[in-house]
Structures are given as structure tokens and as C-alpha cells.
Amino acid sequence: MQDVVVGSTKIPGLKIVQLTVRANDDGWFKEDWHHDKLTALGFPGFQPVQHNITHLTTVGVTRGFHAEPWDKFISVISGRVFGAWIDLRQGDSYGEIVYRELDPSTSVLVPRGVANAHQVLEAGTTLSYLLNEHWTQEGRDRSKGVNLFDPAISVPWPIGEDRAIVNDRDRALPALSQDMEFSRRASTFNVTKPAAGEQVREGKPFHVLYVCTANICRSAYADVVSRARGAKGIEFSSAGIHGLVDDPIDPPMGELADRVADSRSHVARQLTRDIVDAADLILTMGTEHRRYILDEWPSAARKTFVIGHAAREISAAPAELQLSEVTDYLWRNRGTGPRDEVADPYRRGEVAALKAATEIDTHIDAIIPRLEQMIDRAH
């Protein structure tokens, strides 16, 4: 008999994992998480970086629905809960609902954008959460939510609303219909292919935007050294998702940038909607920066890519690729691996700074000359 069975649901990416719980003289044992076994069974790529445990003492405690900006693998350590999930991602599966009871033999992978809820069925229940992003208050504040007892959802909670224990935050969450109205409005500017005249603004330089966390290390370095190239027809800028506004470039990266340009001209900026809108191509230093942009400004999805992925695909692109086709080409060939990211060198010493600078140099060496060739052909 298989130790683990992975099942799909009508919500894409929401996986139910059946685990073997073995009784022994001490009680029982289970292998709750095994990366290689799950991957071999078609489990999506999932790399946990944080492990949270919550202990629930009272039957009837009901929490949700929360759609947070990270994937989570939820397991029951002891006890039982009734779990429910609603897809709040725009697309064909929007509004789909899945629910079932969970015990130590059943775990679930909840993808980002799918709202999670649970109701405690047994006193002393303990839940385990593996997250692929570190929990942050900002991430929680950006989460979407739906009311647990919205009649339009009709989740068959074993314990009804009159006896369920719900906190004030969850009781105040909106009905699904309110979120659907938001989604319909947002869909008019969401991930749609831009018209040919919109993708590259006629008569203006092609604008490349670099994005990292604070805009004082990686994106700052990329911005400074790219500007120093004097690429004809291309302009460069940078910003941070948590920009240390007006700060200079961090000294180790600044010293490396000073080899080719004066880094003192750089001042950090906070990423904004206007900055995103002004860019033709957005290159992020890590997947977390791309995810932030897609969460905040979904319309930027087709022009936002991790820098290593963009370098890899642009360098291998057909010779006849036009400048107006670059972002569409990257979108069709999207797919990011860990080697595409540039690790944050902040406060990690000169070796880490040199490694980051070398990787960035390699990437822009692949990207900028190809963009220049496309601009030359266009003229």
C-alpha cells in the first residue's frame, strides 16, 4: 500500500494528501512531509520556509475565509477539523468551493489566492502549517476574505452559526458577491494582452524597471550599471517593494557599481502604481518581488519577470524577435527556477555582494545587447 496518495480537486492547485498513520506501542507515527515522494506523485513545486503550529482548545472555533499571498500545506497533528476552501483567483474556477473533514491522516495544499477556513470538531486539536513565504503583517493585510456564513456559499458547517465561535475580524468579512463585484471590475484591466501600440510606447525609449526589496542593493546596482552602458533607445530605473526611500546604495554594492559609474546618484524609491505603469519591462531580483507586483497590480503580469528567467529566454530568442514582442515572448515561455533569482546580499558581506553583482552583470549582459539589436532593426 502506498504511504501517501495525492488527489486533485475542482479547485486547481488545491491538493488533498492521504497519509498512512501507523499505530505502534507508543501511539502512532506518520510521515507528514516528504518532498521527494510528493514530487514523484505530481505534487506542485513547494519549498517551505516557515513552520507554524496552532493549538485549538475549544470545539466550535471557526476561522476564515482568508486568501493569503503564500502557499500553505496544512496538516492535523491531533484532533479533527472541518476544512473549507474557496477559490478567489480570477479565472474559470473563481468561486469554486471544496470542503471535507481533516484528521491526522489527511493534509491539504492550499495555493495562494485560495481562501482557507476551518472549524474545530474535537477539543485539543493541533494544526501544522508549512508556508512557502515568511508570514508578514503586510501580507496578512493584503489578504482577501469572505464571510464564513455567507448564504450564497452554503458551506455545511457541522456546527451552525448560532453555536460557532467566530472572532470579530472574521464576522466582519464581506459576502462573496461583494468580492465578485470587485473581481468583475478588476478583470477589465487584469492579465490581458496589451494592444500593439500599448506594449511599446511609440517614439519613446524602451523603459526597463528593476525591482528588489529596499532598492539599495540589487535593483540599485542593476540600475546604475545599466545606465552606464549608454544603451541607445533604452532607459532604466529601479524601485523597491519596501523601498528605503531616499537612502543611497548600500556601500558594498555601491563600491562594485563605482567600477563603471558613480553610484552616488542613486536614491531609493518605493514602488508605486505610476512607476509600474511607466515601465515596458519589469525585471525582479526574486520571485517574491514578482508575486508582490502581481498581487498589487495584476495588469502588470505580462511584463514582469524574474531577471534570470528573462536573461535566459531573451538570449535564446529567435533572431527575428521584435521589441514589441519581447514581453509576449517571455510570457509564453514563462517559468522560473531558483537559479534565476539573485540572492539578497544586504549585510551579508563583500563575498555576497560580489556574487550578486556578478550574477546581475551576467543577466544584463544577456538582456541589454539583444534589446539594442531589436531597437536598431526597428529603426
Please report the sign of the dihedral spanned by the C-alpha atoms of residue 274, residue 375, residue 201, residue 199. negative
Instruction: Provide the b/e sequence for 238-272 (b: ≥16 CB within 10 Å).
Output: bbbbbbbeebebbebbbebbeeebebeebebbebe
- Chain mean position to CA 332: 18
Quick one: cell of 152? 450564497
Entry field: residues in the chain = 379
CA distance 163 to 302: 47
Helices (H), the chain: 35-40, 137-141, 168-171, 176-187, 196-199, 218-228, 251-257, 273-278, 287-296, 307-315, 326-332, 349-378
Q: Cell numbers of 204, please?
A: 519613446
For residue 323, give the 3-state DSSP assignment: helix
Q: Which is the catalytic residue, given 35, 55, 118, 129? A: 129
The residues, any chain, with a CB within 8 Å of residue 255's CB and separated by 6 or more, are: 263
Strands 234-240 and 206-212: parallel
Indicate if 221 belongs to the active site.
Answer: no
The 3-state secondary structure of 250-319, one letter per residue: CHHHHHHHCCCCCHHHCCCCECCHHHHHHCCEEEECCHHHHHHHHHHCHHHHHHEEEHHHHHHHHHCCCC
Among the listed residues 66, 289, 309, 363, the single catalytic one is: 66
Say which DSSP state 25 is in: T
End-to-end CA distance of the chain: 65
CA distance linking residue 18 with residue 9, whole number of Å? 13
Q: Is 289 a catalytic residue?
A: no
Distance CA 367, CA 311 (A): 5
Q: Is the peptide bond before 65 cis (omega within 30 degrees of 0)?
A: yes
Catalytic residues: 66, 129
